Amino acid sequence: MTFEVYLAYVVACTVLLFIPGPTILLVVSYAMTHGRRSAFATIFGVMVGDAVAMGLSFLGLGALLMTSARLFLAMKILGAAYLVYLGVKMWRATTIFEEAALDGKPVSNRAMALDAFTVTVLNPKSGMFFIAFLPQFMDASRPLLPQTLLLGGTFLGLAFTSVTLYAVLASEIRRVVKNPAVSKAVNRAGAGALIGAGVLTAAMRRA
């Protein structure tokens, strides 16, 4: 793999990762409503989810998703249903300001990390991405393992950068905008976006 090919891979991954998808929507929504503590939890969940999705793809799940219409449909429905579930849960949830006023029980870091992990893993395009996209930048005449580790590690590094920037930016905005009504509106907007993402995921066709 030449440096030019690797640079093209970095640019392609950066574009793909910085375009907000269901995972980013979830991270931003939690950060805007629950503050910086949610950022660390959701970032952890996303990174573990990406690592698991990558590992499963290399073990063959990605190839199965590309060839099995039923498996792809099952993953798509599960992912879409979970996004809608999270959207409804977030719509009904109290914000951090309401929790403080009502002395309510805040959403745990573990729950937020699990939500982020589940959304990431259940995205059927994650498996298809790793199995279909990475080989385009690999040199078949050279050892594949070092190239796989390099490209996979680069993807995870860029994914970490992307989700961290979104989470920190959203949590900082929350610190500036401390109006409970605004926080509630953001919470509802994030919930609506997740529900919409679920509907779009359900309608998504195989590439």
- Asked whether residue 18 is domain-assigned, the answer is no
Tell me what pLDDT residue 203 has.
Answer: 67
Tell me what pLDDT residue 132 has.
Answer: 65
Instruction: Determine the Cα–Cα distance for residues 60 and 172; give it in Å rounded to an integer.
Output: 40
151-162 pLDDT, tens digit each? 889 989 999 999
Confidence of residue 195 (pLDDT cuts 50, 70, 90): confident
Helices 144-176 and 22-34, packing angle to 10 deg: 40
10-60 pLDDT, tens digit each? 888 887 788 777 788 888 888 877 777 788 899 999 999 988 888 877 776
Percentage of residues in the chain having pLDDT higher than 90? 9
Mean pLDDT of the chain: 74
67-90 pLDDT, tens digit each? 666 766 776 677 677 667 767 776
Q: Is the pLDDT of residue 63 over 70?
A: no
Closest CA to 52 of 151, 122, 145: 122
Q: What is the pTM of this model?
A: 0.68
Region 110-131: mean pLDDT is 79
Choose the weakest-confidence range: 130-134, 136-140, 166-170.
Answer: 130-134
| Residue 107 backbone dihedrals phi, psi, to 5 degrees | -65, 130
Instruction: Determine the Cα–Cα distance for residues 140 and 156; give it in Å rounded to an integer.
Output: 22
Dihedral sign computed on CA atoms, order 12, 151, 50, 94: negative
Instruction: Determine the Cα–Cα distance for residues 15 and 67; give it in Å rounded to an integer.
Output: 26
- Asked whether residue 40 is domain-assigned, the answer is yes
Task: Please count the structural domains in the chain.
Answer: 1
What separation in angstroms does the CA of 19 have from each of 24, 59, 139, 194, 199? 9, 27, 28, 15, 18
CB 37 within 8 A of CB 168: no
- Asked whether residue 92 is domain-assigned, the answer is yes
Tell me what pLDDT residue 17 has.
Answer: 80
CB 69 within 8 A of CB 109: no
If you ran DSSP here, which 8-state letter would residue 19 be given? S
Range of the domain at 140: 3-13+23-203
Tell me what pLDDT residue 100 has.
Answer: 39
- Asked whether residue 163 is domain-assigned, the answer is yes
Rg (CA), the chain: 18
